[in-house]
């Protein structure tokens, strides 16, 4: 039995018919064809699927599409400005070599934005701890941690 869902994704109203068991990540990838959000595991451990739901980082493999009814979703495709200017977090990942193969990257960037929003000025230890739910196999996390700390400072300055 299909269920109607409506939500806002990257600022646009979207709707669709989904099975009750359809995960938010499936809705994003398969219905909306926004394939920047990745699936890297089946146990909610890897963080490749992190998106923002009403501004908060969420593993989209761990939420049903119907649970996102009426909510505002931001995916990696919605982070940069319309003119293509990268979000400070994306720019910082580039500047600090925070990505190699790029598969964990969208989840890492979305998680990084969330960390910077929640914990402005977080120190290295805090950032590392906050990344418990995101696995990277390429970078040794070094560039990722540096990028999040750097972008966090940029975002903080922009807010004040």
Binding site for other proteins (CB under 8 A): 29, 33-43, 45-46, 48, 75-77, 79-80, 86, 90, 93-95, 97, 99-106, 109, 124-125, 127-129, 131-132, 134-145
What is the closest distance, in whole angstroms, from the C-beta atom of residue 137 to other proteins in the complex? 5
Estimate the crossing angle of helix 142-159 against helix 105-118, to 10 degrees.
40
Q: Between residues 81 and 160, which has the closer beta carbon with respect to other proteins? A: 81
Residues in CB range of 30: below 8 A, 6 or more apart = none
**Cβ distance 95 to 32 under 8 Å?**
no
What is the closest distance, in whole angstroms, from the C-beta atom of residue 62 to other proteins in the complex? 13
Q: Between residues 119 and 135, which has the closer beta carbon with respect to other proteins? A: 135
Q: Between residues 39 and 66, which has the closer beta carbon with respect to other proteins? A: 39
What is the closest distance, in whole angstroms, from the C-beta atom of residue 38 to other proteins in the complex? 7
Q: Between residues 34 and 155, which has the closer beta carbon with respect to other proteins? A: 34
What is the closest distance, in whole angstroms, from the C-beta atom of residue 60 to other proteins in the complex? 13
Q: Between residues 4 and 35, which has the closer beta carbon with respect to other proteins? A: 35
d(C-alpha 62, C-alpha 148), whole Å? 24
d(C-alpha 23, C-alpha 53), whole Å? 14
Measured in degrees and rounded to the nearest 5, phi and psi for residue 85 equal -65, 130
d(C-alpha 107, C-alpha 128), whole Å? 15
What is the closest distance, in whole angstroms, from the C-beta atom of residue 160 to other proteins in the complex? 25
Distance of CA 105 to the CA centre of its chain: 9
């Amino acid at each position: 039995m299909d269920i109607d869902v409506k939500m806002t994704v990257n600022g646009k109203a979207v709707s669709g018919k989904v099975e009750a068991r359809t995960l938010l990540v499936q809705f994003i990838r398969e219905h909306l064809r926004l394939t920047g959000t990745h699936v890297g595991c089946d146990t909610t451990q890897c963080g490749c699927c992190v998106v923002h739901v009403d501004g908060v980082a969420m593993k989209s493999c761990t939420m049903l599409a119907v649970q996102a009814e009426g909510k505002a979703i931001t995916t990696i495709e919605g982070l940069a400005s319309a003119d293509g200017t990268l979000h400070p977090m994306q720019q910082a990942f580039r500047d600090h070599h925070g990505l190699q193969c790029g598969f964990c990257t969208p989840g890492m960037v979305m998680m990084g934005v969330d960390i910077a929003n929640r914990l402005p000025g977080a120190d290295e230890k805090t950032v590392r701890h906050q990344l418990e739910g995101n696995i990277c196999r390429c970078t040794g996390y070094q560039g990722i941690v540096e990028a999040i700390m750097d972008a966090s400072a940029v975002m903080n300055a922009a807010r004040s």
